Amino acid sequence: MKILRTAKNTQALTAKLRKNKIIGFVPTMGYLHDGHLSLIKIARKRSDIVFVSIFVNPLQFGPKEDFSRYPRNFKRDEKLCLDAGVDYIFYPGVKELYPEGYSTYVNEEKAAVGLESNIRPGHFRGVTTIVLKLFNIVQPHISVFGQKDAQQAVVIKKMTDDLNVNTKIIIAPTIREKDGLAMSSRNVYLTKEQRSDAPYLYKALMYGMRKISDKNYNRDIDFIKKQMYKLIKSRRTVTKIDYISFNNNRTLETINSLKQIYDKTEILISLAARFGKVRLIDNIVIKR
């Protein structure tokens, strides 16, 4: 396994490799866990050469967010990548990707509206900008992302389609702890009591799934959301619920009524909640 630090050298290498090798790519912000490793495993199965990028992207953090606190441990990540069969790690510095005078950004203007954007203005401009840059540098045939970041997945697929990016996007299932908590680099910040309460996010999602999946259910979305809200707020360490939302999983159009749901519609139930200073997101997709 080799570590690459410059965009120029990486781009020159991948231009040669992709002539006769299938390149698989997993972009990350590091502090890898089993969720990331599941993405790498998919890339490993589907490609000849696997690239992982590790870059904590300052553009997707707001002024009051945790860029400086975001966990970093490159030596640990390097070992995990080596064990997972990664061929190359692209590990650039901030000035490498955003040199002095940098002024070009990417905006997706439909899927990037609402949900996380309401809480984190400018977040998806940072995401789409860095992902497109990484696509141009690594030049992958396939790129693997996680379902846990559901809105991000839709935004990236839309950007890739709209801008004719020559990579196939694969969205992999969320990897969970035994108690249902979605794996996240931020889980390390939870106190013992917060960690005990955090799985209630998944319990609330499962409640919503059961109700939506029941064809005989005759109440509406607002009632389900209120019950989910009560379930989460019953935990003492939950300080705020940012949103609970029902959306079309393809377009992210808001679903306000069961009348908007037709056969084979994919429904995304997503939520975000805070445990003190730790903000967690989760979601589940249902076919009704």
| Last residue within a domain, chosen from 146, 172, 198 | 172
Q: Are 220 and 130 within one domain?
A: no
- Residue 178 belongs to a domain: no
Q: Which of 33, 36, 123, 141 is catalytic?
A: 36
- Residue 119 belongs to a domain: yes
Q: Are 161 and 196 within one domain?
A: no
Q: Are 190 and 165 within one domain?
A: no
Indicate the number of domains in the chain.
Answer: 2
Q: Are 59 and 117 within one domain?
A: yes
207: CATH: 3.30.1300.10
Q: Are 53 and 117 within one domain?
A: yes
- Residue 142 belongs to a domain: yes
161-180 pLDDT, tens digit per residue, is: 999 999 999 999 999 999 99
Q: Are 29 and 155 within one domain?
A: yes
- Residue 177 belongs to a domain: no
User: Which contacts qualify for 129-134: CB closer than 8 Å, 24 or more apart?
Assistant: 129/59, 129/104, 129/105, 130/27, 130/55, 130/57, 130/59, 130/60, 130/97, 131/27, 131/156, 131/159, 132/106, 132/159, 132/163, 132/165, 133/7, 133/97, 134/25, 134/27, 134/53, 134/55, 134/90
Q: Are 146 and 208 within one domain?
A: no
Per the structure, the complete domain to which residue 48 belongs is given by 2-172
| Last residue within a domain, chosen from 118, 147, 172 | 172
Q: Are 233 and 140 within one domain?
A: no
pLDDT at 260: 66
Q: Is 33 a catalytic residue?
A: no
- Residue 72 belongs to a domain: yes
Q: Which residues of the chain have pLDDT under 50?
A: none
Q: Are 63 and 158 within one domain?
A: yes
Measured distance CA(238)–CA(215) in Å, rounded: 32
106-138 pLDDT, tens digit per residue, is: 999 999 999 999 999 999 999 999 999 999 999
Q: Are 33 and 145 within one domain?
A: yes
- Residue 275 belongs to a domain: yes
- Residue 130 belongs to a domain: yes
Q: How many CB atoms lie within 10 A of CB 52?
A: 29
Q: Are 274 and 165 within one domain?
A: no
Q: Are 31 and 167 within one domain?
A: yes
Measured distance CA(90)–CA(93) in Å, rounded: 10
- Residue 179 belongs to a domain: no
| Last residue within a domain, chosen from 142, 172, 202 | 172
In this structure, the strands spanning 278-287 and 266-275 are antiparallel
47: CATH: 3.40.50.620
